Structures are given as structure tokens and as C-alpha cells.
Structure 1
Amino acid sequence: MALVLITGGAGFIGSRLALRLLGKGHSVRVIDTLSPQVHGDDPEASDLYGAIKGKVDFIHGSVTDREAMTRALAGVDAVVHFAAETGTGQSMYQIEHYSAVNVGGTAIMLDILANAPHQVKRMVVASSRSVYGEGKYLTPDGQAVYPEHRTAADMEAGDFAVKYPGCDSITLVATDEESKLHPSSVYGITKQVQEQMVMTVCPTIGIEPVAFRYQNVFGPGQSLSNPYTGILSIFSNLMLTGKDINIFEDGTESRDFVFVDDVVSATVLGVEHPGAAGQVFNVGTGVPTSVITVAQTLARLLGQSPKMTVTGNFRLGDIRHNYADMSRIERLLGFTPEWDFERGIAAFSQWVQSTGPKASGYEASLEEMRSKGLLK
């Protein structure tokens, strides 16, 4: 059994992974800042931190603190690197902060390992579907193409379609791991750099690297107050407080929503499975779901009837569609998701009803983005 360090291990995914690894007999160390954006104004009272408190070796610190990271890495056999700032929209104006935490924190960790004795044998890095930008499409003659980011001018005119020069129409297909990397947000850029740093440096210092490009992770326990946590939390919180739902673009934009327990299962394989070494994997369901479908399904399951308005608003940096090709992780690790969207959102909705609405900074976050010209 191994001693596993989870950076960001008190977060939504990290805390569940910690408990799963403990259940399998591993020892777990966690370093986490207990950020108020994730854990609320009284972080040590948060449910996520409470789930692991007293069960793991906990270090209250940041991956950007070299001394804290040196202590965190001492004696560990494997690292799961979750610690990161995660808001796509927020990253477009907190550029220095996102770069310092996501890129700088990863650089400090690798620098420590490259310049001192260590016993780390494997490192799993949490990458993201955001590295793919607008994803993969096929032309009418079957050629794979990777469209550039949509323009503000097109979207302001109500044209949200993804375009490729010289083609009247292109068809969305699943994004495989060999697809072009061309992120459309600062967040996506930092995740690409994190992944590439880990995959490049680790083999030179005797560590097996593994990267997981997680799709849109959701499930019980994710923050209802963090405005950057995802549309399921945002929409459900708005519904429970009796507020209207404003849907961006035309509502048909889609994502691959993957349940948190499946993400944890895949990540455990990343820690333990010999076949994961040196590989990059998508982790999703392989099924796209539209934003308007999410809103309508949540309203039905929560027993709410909010006014829903498709606004035509959009955020610069957002992509139109993306869903994962899951064939590599199934072939090499034997992983297939156990939770489809309907089952997962039912479990999520049941948890939301038992938890109740939370005070959220969602409206304030939209105003901030609007003031900076990022929300149109």
C-alpha cells in the first residue's frame, strides 16, 4: 500500500478520492488552502473538509508555498495533483493568479522533486477537457478539423455556430486524446501547461506520469455557493431560491457531464493500474447533453417551475460543444462509467433538496464579467 499525496485533497473530487483510497488500504496526505470560494466563509466547518478531517495527514497550505510543498512531498509514493483554480470565466481576468497557482504551483512541485531525493513513483495530474478548445469536427468529406474560437461579432449577431473556413457545414464528433490542443481560455491554457509539464518532467526524474482530461464533473458535495463550479450547481441553487433561469447563447450548447464517483474510480486506476503509466486519458461519459436539457431536467427533479429565458448572452472564452471519446481508457484500463447523466442528475438533485439553497455570488460574478467586457 502507498502513501498518496493529494494536492487540493479537501475539494469536491479530492475529498472523495481520499476516502476511496483510504478504503483500499492506502495512507493519504492532503495539502489544501481551504479556499473560501470552495469551502465558504468558515472553511473548517465545510462538509468537504469535515469528510476527511482526522482521517488523513492534513497540511493547511498552498502549492505555491515551497516550504509547505517540501513537507507535503516527504516520503510519499504517489501524487494526485488536483490543486488548481478552476473558473473558466474568472480566469479571463484573474490571469496572474490563475497562472501563479496552476502553472507556478505545478512548477514548484516538479522543481522540488527534480532537485532533491524522493520516492515518488507515480504522479497523476488533473487536466481538463478545456485543453481541446472547440473540439473536433468532420468536414463533409470526412476530414478531421479543429475550428478556431468563435468570434464576438458572430455571437453578438446571434450566430453561435462553430465554423471552419471553406466548409458550409461541419459535424461534431467525440474528442479523442490525439485531437489538437488549442484552449480558448486562460484556465484551459494553464491546464494544458500543467499537463505538459508533468508529462515532460516526470519521466526524467523516475516518476510515471498520468494525465486525466476530466469532462464536466458533477455530483453530491459540489459547492452550491461557488459561482464558478458549474451550471448544475448554479441552476439548482437559483431554482431553490425562486429565481429565474437565464440560459446563455441559444441553449443548445452542450457538455459531457460525468458523475464524480466515476471520476474517482478512474483516478484510482491512475494511481494503481500499471497500464496507466505515461498515458493521457479522457474521463467522461462520451455523451453530450445540452444546457437547456440540464435546466429542464433539474426543474423536473427538483419540482420547480422557474421562468427560463434563452438570453443570447455569451461569455468570451466559452466553447460551444465538447464530448469525450472514451475508447482509450476503456481499452488500456478497462474503465467505463457506471453513471449516465439521468442517474447522476437524479442523485445530485436528491442531495440538493436535502442540502437546501446556499448564498451564492453568481449574480455578482456576472456583473464583474460584464464590467470587464467578457459577458456580452
Structure 2
Amino acid sequence: MPNLILITGGAGFIGQRLARSLLKQGCSVRLLDNFSPQIHSTEALPVDLDGHVNLIKADVRDRDTMRRALTGVDTVVHLAAETGTGQSMYEIDRYFSVNVQGTATMLDLLHNEDCAKSIRSVVVASSRAVYGEGAYLCDTDGMVFPDQRGRTLMSQGQFEPLCPVCGSAVKLLPTPESAPFRPMSMYGLTKQVQEQAVLLFAQTRGINGFGLRYQNVYGPGQSLKNPYTGILAVFSNLARQNQPIEIYEDGLESRDFVYIDDVVEATVRSINYPGQFVGALNVGSGEAVSVMTVAQEIKAFFNSESVIGVTGAFRMGDIRHNIADVTQIEQVLGFVPKMPFTQGLANFLGWAAEQAPEDKAAYLRSVNELAARGLMGSAAAT
């Protein structure tokens, strides 16, 4: 068991839950976080963490502070990152600066200075975004990995990916870790670089390196104010205020939603892994849920008067579907996701009901920013 663990981005959704789990195991935990206003509504830790962890308020790009944060650490869990897929398509410099340069600064210190001589493992939060559309089955060409969907076809209401070889219709498959890198957003590209830099460092250094490709993480405690964190937060805010819920494309697009407790368990298993491993692992539920299903479940939970509308609008850089192949993480870590989506969603919504609803202005502003930069399109409503 590691003695001192540094969690970058440790005051965030995943970081706090991970810290609690590690403290229960008797680990010493250090958190580094800049408390970005886009994500955090306060610069204070919850009372159950305050005083029980060593908190450093700083940016991952601050070399001197990172040196101090890494001192004496034997395991790093690198969660710090900018996370908005759509936002990354126009705030390109910021995403590369935080995600890529921040990771480079950390690895440079680990490799060239004496601040962390005892480092034995680095775990990085990668993303399913590195795959782009991921894996599909073509009746003619077998497993294929479709190109980014084009504006012309989506404007005609043709949202499903096509075979990149023959142009035929394809069926969704679970995406394995062996799938090629095909990121379709700047966010996805920065996560690819983050992951590969950490794994290359670990391989060169002869230590453990885990690139955990988190799918769509959700659960109690996630930010309800950040319009870039995902549809569960956005839809729950709208439903509680009886506001219209507008769904992009045709509502049949789907995601692999993985519950926070499962994500924490997979991450802890990586930290405590007794063997030698350098590589990437999918962390998901292995189940695809449509956006329409999500909207309907949320509306029903709150007995909301919200009208669910399918707009035909789309965002460039969005994927159509995703479902993770979770075979390899079971083989390596013995991890099997436990939380079914229906129960996990109920847990999240029960918690959300106790929080003050957020004004939809931030969400509308995020949509308007995309539209102003030519990253939105629209097909006829279905």
C-alpha cells in the first residue's frame, strides 16, 4: 500500500471521492487543485476532508508548487484537466496549456529532480474521447472505426456513422483498448497526449503506469453549475425548474455512464496494484443508454412539467455513441462495474433534489459560444 498519494485536481468530483476512499485505507493523501470557478462554487474542502488531507491550492503549471507537491510522494493520481468537449474546440490554447503542459511539467519534475525519488506509480485520468466514434461492425468489412461525422450529412438528419471503407451502415460494438486513437475534439486530443506521455514516462522509468479511460462519470457530488460536465447535470437543473429540455440530434445518441463509486474502485485498484503494469484500461459500465432515455427518466423522477423536444441541432466534435469493452480491466484488476444505470441515476437525482437548482444562463451561454464559432449545426426536427 502506498504511503503518500498526490491527487492533482483532487478537490474535484472524482478527487474528493477518491481521497475519502484512500483515507479509509489509512493512506496519507495530498491534494493539489486550483479551484477553477467554472467547476467549484467554493475554495474550501468539505468538513470531512478539511484537516485530514494536505491541501495545496495551485495550478498544475506552477513548477515551483508542483515540485513541493511531489516531494515525498510514491503515487500520483493525475486528474487535473480542463474537461469541456465543446469548449475545447475554441479555447484551444487553454486546453493544451492545462492538459498537456501541466502534465509535461509534472513529468519533467518527476524525471529530472529529486522531489519524488520514491515514485512507484502514476495513474492518469484518460478519457474515452481518445477513441472518437470508437468501434462498429460493418457486415462487409468487419470491425471498423468510423470517421468524424460530417456537417452535410448531419444537416440532412443522417446522424449515424458510416463504414469508413464502404460507406455502409454499421452497428455499435464495445470499444476495446486496442482501438486506434481517433479523437474528434481538442479535449480528446489533449487526453491522448496526457495518457501517452504518462505511459511513456512509466515505461522508461520502470514503474507502474495506468491510463484509465473513464467513460461518462456521474453520481452524487458532481458539479451542477458547470455547463460542460454533461447532460445529467444540465437536464436535472432544467427539469426541477420545469424548463424545456432540448435534445440534440434525434435523441437516440447514447453514452456509457459509469457511476462514481465504480470509478473510485477501479482507480484504487490501480493504485494498490501489486504487480507490474503499464497500459490503458477502459473504466465504464459496458452499457449504452440513449440521451432520450436519460431525459425521460429525469423528467419522471422529478414529476416535472418540462417538455422534452428533439431539436435536430448538433455539435461538431460530438460522437454518436459509445460503449466500453470492460474485459481487459477485469483481467488486469479484477474490476467489474457494480452500479446499474437506473439505480445510479436515482442516487444522483435524489442528491440533486437536495441542491439549489442552477440558473440555465450558463448552459445557454455555452451553447451560444459554440454557435458563434460555427461549431453548431441543425437538421430538420424529427
TM-score (norm 1): 0.96
SS at match of 2:43: helix
The separation in 1 between residues aligned to 2:276 and 2:345, in whole angstroms, is 29
Q: Note the C-alpha offset of 1:277.
A: 2.1
Aligned to 2:123: 124
- Equivalent-residue separation in structure 2 for 1:167 and 1:91 (angstroms): 29
For the residue of structure 1 that corresponds to 2:38, the secondary structure is helix
Q: Deviations over 1:87-121 (max 9, x none)?
A: 00000000000000000000000001110132110
Please, which runs of 5 or more residues in structure 1 have no aligned partner? none
Amino acid at match of 1:89: G
For residues 376 and 140 of structure 2, the distance between their equivalents in structure 1, rounded to whole angstroms, comes to: 36
Paired with 2:65 and 2:16, the residues of 1 have a C-alpha distance of: 19
Contact 1:275 1:333 in 2 (8 A): no
Shift of 1:359: 3.1
Amino acid across the alignment from 1:338 = K
Counterpart residue number, 1:310: 310
How many Å apart are 1:157 and its aligned residue?
A: 1.3
Aligned to 2:195: 195
* Aligned-pair CA distance for 1:310: 0.2
Q: Residues 244-296 of structure 1: CA distance to partner in whole angstroms, max 9, x if unpaired?
A: 00000000000000000100000000100124721311001101000000000
Which residue in the other structure is 2:380 paired with?
none
| Contact persistence 1:176–1:324 (CA under 8 A) | yes
Compute the displacement of 1:324 (Å). 0.3
1:44 Cα deviation after fit: 2.1
Is the contact made by 2:174 and 2:322 (CA closer than 8 Å) also made in structure 1? yes
- Matches for 1:18-33 after TM superposition, within 5 Å: 18-33=19-34
- Share of identical aligned residues, percent? 51
Q: Which amino acid aligns with 1:359?
A: D
SS of equivalent to 1:355: coil
Residue-by-residue CA offset, 1:303-331 (whole Å, 9 max, x unaligned): 21311110000011100011100111111
- Give 1:150's aligned residue: 149
Q: Determine the C-alpha separation between the residues in 1 that align with 2:43 and 2:280.
A: 34
Aligned to 1:36: 37
Instruction: Tell me the residue number matched to 1:162.
Output: 161
Deviation per CA, 1:142-180, whole angstroms, max 9, x where unpaired? 611111000011111111110124142211100000011
Paired with 2:67 and 2:197, the residues of 1 have a C-alpha distance of 18
Q: Which residue of 2 aligns with 1:182?
A: 182
Q: 1:94 corresponds to which residue?
A: 91
Contact preservation (8 Å) 2:4, 2:30 = yes
Q: How many equivalent residue pairs?
A: 372
Residues 247-266 of structure 1 mapped to structure 2, 5 A cutoff:
247-266=247-266
Q: Which residue of 1 aligns with 2:372?
A: 371
Give the aligned residue type for 2:375.
Answer: L
> Is the alpha carbon distance of 1:275 and 1:311 closer, same or farther for their aligned partners in structure 2, counting shifts above 3 Å?
farther
Q: Which amino acid aligns with 2:68?
A: R
Matches within 5 A, 1:335-374: 335-360=335-360, 361-374=362-375
Instruction: Tell me if the contact between 2:202 and 2:278 (Cα under 8 Å) persists in the aligned partners.
Output: no
- The yes-or-no answer on 1:68 pairing with 2:69 is no
SS of equivalent to 2:30: strand
Distance 2:275 2:236 in 1: 39
**How far is 1:352 from its partner?**
0.8
Change (3 A) 1:372 1:167: closer
Q: Per-residue deviation at 1:55?
A: 1.4
**Deviations, residues 56-84 of structure 1 (Å, cap 9, x unaligned):** 10000011110111000000010000000
Aligned mates of 1:110, 1:137 — CA distance in 2: 35
CA distance in 2, matches of 1:316, 1:348: 29
